[in-house]
Each structure stands twice: as C-alpha cells, then as structure tokens.
C-alpha cells in the first residue's frame, strides 16, 4: 500500500519543457493561461485539440490523450475538460483519469487555475492503485507534481484527501490479499499495528469469546486451523459521548463449509472479509485526521472451512444474546458472525448507533448489480444521512425494505430462528436475521456490500479487484452526524 508520490510546486516553464512524463492541462471552451503557454510550446496543438469534434463531445472531467507531443520532452499530453467552477465530482473524475494513466515517469499538472484541487487529488490518488504478488514487482508510479500558485497552501488543503485515499488503499490491500497470507492472525496483527495512529486496539481470542458466549461466531470457524478472533478498535475524539459502532464481517475465506460452494469462482471468496476491511479502513481514516468523534470498530475474524470439526446443516447454536439458531446452510455464515459481534458491541459500548457491513448475500447482486450497496435500516434519519454522504462522495447505495412479513421466512421448527429463509428476498431475510440482534431503540443500519466490494473490471476510481467502497462514505457520515 503506497500512494503515488505527490508534490506541489510553483509553475516553471523550463521544468515543463524538460519534463518526460505526462503533462496535464485543463480547459473548457477556451484555453486558460497555462494552456495557452502549452499551446505555444506545442506549436498550436492545444488550440487544434480544443477546436476538434472530439473535444466538443467531452463531458466535464473527461479528456484527450496525445502521445509524444511536438515541442515537449513529455511522453504524453493530457487535456482535460473542466469548467472554471468545476463540481467536486467532476474534479474527482478528472483526477481518476490522470491516475489511470499514471506511469513510472510521473505527471506534471498545470493546476494554477483550479480553485479547489483537493477532490482532483483525491480522485488521482484513489485511481493510482496497484496490487500484485509477483516475483518482479511492477515499476512504481512516478511523482505527480502539481504546479499551482501557492504550493504550501495547496498541500495543506489536500492533506486530508490524501490520508483518506491512503485509508482506502489499506482496505483494498486487505481485500485483495490471498487467504494464505491474510489469515485471521495476520489480519489481527495488521489492525494491532494501528495503535501507532492513536487507536486503542483489543483482540479477543477464542477463550475470551467462549466465556462471553459468542457460540454463533465460534461455530463458523471451528472447522478451520486459523483461530477465530474479534478485534475491537476505539477512537476517542469527543469526550464521553456515546460512540458510533461500526461492525464488520471478516470471513477471511469462505468455502461455504459443509454446504460447500461450487469450485468455479471460489477463489473470489478472499473478499468475504470486505466488511471488516471497510471498518478497518474507516477507523484508519478517522485516526489519521484526528476526527472529533467517538467511534468503535469491531470485526469478527473467522475462516469457514469443511472439516471433521466443522458445523453441519441441522446444528443448533446459541448466540451471545441467548437466542438459538438452526443452521440450515453453513454458507450463510456471515450473519452468525455478525450476530455475536453486534450484541457484544451494544452490551459493551452502549453506542449511539450501530452500522454493520458485510459481503452478506449473492441476492443483493441480483437486486442491485455492482453499482449500489444495499441499505437496510430501522432508523430513517440514519439511513438518509448515509445515503446523502454516499451521494456526496460518489459511492452508490440504495435503500431496501424491512418488515415483519419477511421475518416469517426465518422461523425455525426447533430453534428461535433459522439462518436462511429461502431464495425469495434473500438479502432482506438476511437483514431481518441481523435485526433480531439489535436492541430496542438502537438506531441501526446494515450495508450489504457483496456487489460493490470487488469488481471484475476497472471502475472509475479503482482498477479491477478490491474497490474500498464505503470508507469515504462512512467518513463523510461521521463528519456530518457524529462529530462534536
């Protein structure tokens, strides 16, 4: 996890002439001062580009890429269309366009006319991400130099955007890691390292969870050689105010257990700890910016494996709350993990609100595809605030229903409930299951992120693989609703 190096400097014509990476300029219907200077150096190439039909068709944040422009040493010239008062989403889009093409030779951005470059820098840093486990590592990204009027002021204005991008990269690294590398123990170790950032981190081992009665969680991991753990991360930034609790599903690999998954595509289940990854990244972002809020992040870390000791379909387990659960399908394991961690969070911290995140159901992908996470909530104000935050940062989310009629689908003949309710409304019945572990009067929101956590193709702000969806939206929610 390494951000592309970003520097800030005053405009320098000689440096521009000698630069060998990608030169980036911004314009709308006419070139600004920097673009006019660039036009002279490139013998009119900029004006010709701005007069083209291709430029006319561009939307804000989109651009033209000119390879090896005459008059410059640069390997490329990027011309990006931005109005003078560009919206934050257009600036982020422009930054992502730069980040997607960033090479080892770096980039020089002629950004003197940009009023608020922070969203652009955020988009660039978000998109310029790589993950690979190879003998020969790819060449690192070159330095991005942002030429602007006041470099130090611009650096300060962009600092939080860069720390937020770093937190997203941290989450992506966790989600992308193979399960033989990111075991439950290694995951916990990486979270413990965040004590250096000012977070209080506690790790509950299996013996501690057994004493607490967290048998639903422990049953999921009992077929694995990797020990189950619950990690608690606390950020104290607002005195004695009750905290927001963030709870993440951390199944480091999910075979489905005895109800084993088909072989095709099973390798993607390295991402089944995506909820825990987002919680960890959000806690990192809050600590990095010293957020004036109280937030506790809790992640249940398990591995779901088939084994002679693994739980079976038909088993009945008792949760920390005391409710019994009939296990109909061992591949519906994430809700068992969350049930105990949700109850522990409420019993221990008496939170002002609870938000859980999980790659919980394939059904949410059928409903919403890869564009939106499913939002389930018992509190309209909390859901509305999150949806607003998600729109502000450009992360897709869509409100889904809850209701007693769905609850009937998880009635059990032999226990208080069963862990699946059939194919119909599968993501809703999973949320109804979790709702049984939320105390009366506690604002709660469940985010089913199965469709947005890892993509099979590049997206606007991430290459193929882990997206880090949710870190930025949760950070924005904390800013808007939970800071003192």
261 flagged as catalytic: yes
Query: What is the percent of the chain where pLDDT is above 90?
Result: 94
395-401 mean pLDDT = 98
115-119 mean pLDDT = 93
Side-chain half-sphere exposure of 150, counting CA atoms within 13 A:
8
Residue-wise pLDDT for 154-180, tens only, equals: 999 999 999 999 999 999 999 999 999
Residue-wise pLDDT for 303-348, tens only, equals: 999 999 999 999 999 999 999 999 999 999 999 999 999 999 999 9
- Pairing mode, if any, of strands 444-448 and 353-358? parallel
Which domains are present in the chain? 6-149 (3.40.220.10), 168-482 (3.40.630.10)
pLDDT band at 135 (very low <50, low <70, confident <90, very high): confident
291-308 mean pLDDT = 98
Q: For helices 274-288 and 151-176, what crossing angle results, to 10°?
A: 160
Statement: residue 211 has pLDDT above 90? yes
- Pairing mode, if any, of strands 324-326 and 316-318? antiparallel
Residue-wise pLDDT for 409-464, tens only, equals: 999 999 999 999 999 999 999 999 999 999 999 999 999 999 999 999 999 999 99
391 vs 8, 60, 238, 395, 473, CA distance in Å? Answer: 29, 18, 26, 6, 8
Between CA 288 and CA 281 the distance in angstroms is: 10
129-148 mean pLDDT = 91
- Pairing mode, if any, of strands 244-254 and 144-147? unpaired
Please give the pLDDT value at position 53: 96
Of the listed 47, 190, 261, 399, which one is catalytic?
A: 261
Residue-wise pLDDT for 7-30, tens only, equals: 999 999 999 999 999 999 999 877
Please give the pLDDT value at position 1: 56
pLDDT band at 49 (very low <50, low <70, confident <90, very high): very high
Statement: residue 32 has pLDDT above 80? no
47 flagged as catalytic: no
Please give the pLDDT value at position 171: 98
Query: The tokens 């033209």 sit on which residue?
Result: 64
Please give the pLDDT value at position 29: 78
Statement: residue 369 has pLDDT above 80? yes
Between CA 397 and CA 47 the distance in angstroms is: 41
Between CA 301 and CA 72 the distance in angstroms is: 53
**What mean pLDDT is reported for the chain?**
96
The pTM score is 0.97
Please give the pLDDT value at position 230: 98
Of the listed 81, 92, 127, 335, which one is catalytic?
A: 335
Helices (H), ranges, 350-452:
363-368, 380-393, 404-407, 426-435
pLDDT band at 33 (very low <50, low <70, confident <90, very high): confident
């Amino acid at each position: 996890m390494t951000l592309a190096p970003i520097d800030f400097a005053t405009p320098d014509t000689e440096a521009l002439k000698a630069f060998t990476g990608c030169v980036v300029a911004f314009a709308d219907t006419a070139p600004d001062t920097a673009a006019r200077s660039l036009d002279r150096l490139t013998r009119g190439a900029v004006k010709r580009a701005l007069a083209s039909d291709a430029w006319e068709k561009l939307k804000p944040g989109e651009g033209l890429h000119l390879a090896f422009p005459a008059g410059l040493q640069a390997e490329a010239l990027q011309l990006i269309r931005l109005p003078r008062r560009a919206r934050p989403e257009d600036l982020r889009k422009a930054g992502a366009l730069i980040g997607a093409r960033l090479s080892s030779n770096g980039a020089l951005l002629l950004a003197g006319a940009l009023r608020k470059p922070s969203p652009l820098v955020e988009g660039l840093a978000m998109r310029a991400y790589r993950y690979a486990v190879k003998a020969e590592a790819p060449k690192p990204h070159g330095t991005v130099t942002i030429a602007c009027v006041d470099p130090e002021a611009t650096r300060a204005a962009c600092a939080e955007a860069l720390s937020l991008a770093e937190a997203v990269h941290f989450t992506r690294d966790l989600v992308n890691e193979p399960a033989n590398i990111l075991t439950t123990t290694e995951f916990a170790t990486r979270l413990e390292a965040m004590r250096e950032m000012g977070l209080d981190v506690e790790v509950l081992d299996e013996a501690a969870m057994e004493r607490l009665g967290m048998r639903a969680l422990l049953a999921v991991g009992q077929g694995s050689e990797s020990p189950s753990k619950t990690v608690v991360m606390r950020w104290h930034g607002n005195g004695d105010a009750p905290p927001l609790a963030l709870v993440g599903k951390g199944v480091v690999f999910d075979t489905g257990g005895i109800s084993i998954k088909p072989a095709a595509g099973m390798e993607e289940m390295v991402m089944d700890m995506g909820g825990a990854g987002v919680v960890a990244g959000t806690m990192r972002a809050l600590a990095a910016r010293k957020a004036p809020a109280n937030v506790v992040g809790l992640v249940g870390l398990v591995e779901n494996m088939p084994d002679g000791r693994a739980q079976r379909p038909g088993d009945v387990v008792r949760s920390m709350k005391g409710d019994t659960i009939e296990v109909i399908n061992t591949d519906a394991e994430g809700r068992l993990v969350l049930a105990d961690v949700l109850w522990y969070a409420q019993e221990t911290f008496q939170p002002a609100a609870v938000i859980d995140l999980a790659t919980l159901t394939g059904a949410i992908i059928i409903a919403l595809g890869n564009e939106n996470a499913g939002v389930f909530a018992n509190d309209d104000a909390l859901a509305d605030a999150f949806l607003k935050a998600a729109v502000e940062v450009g992360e897709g989310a869509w409100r889904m229903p809850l209701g007693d009629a769905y609850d009937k689908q998880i009635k059990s003949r032999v226990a208080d409930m069963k862990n699946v309710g059939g194919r119909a409304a599968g993501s809703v019945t999973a949320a109804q299951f979790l709702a049984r572990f939320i105390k009366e009067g506690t604002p709660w929101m469940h985010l089913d992120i199965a469709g947005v956590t890892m993509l099979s193709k590049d997206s606007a702000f991430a290459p193929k693989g882990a997206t880090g969806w949710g870190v930025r939206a949760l950070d924005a929610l904390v800013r808007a609703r939970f800071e003192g």
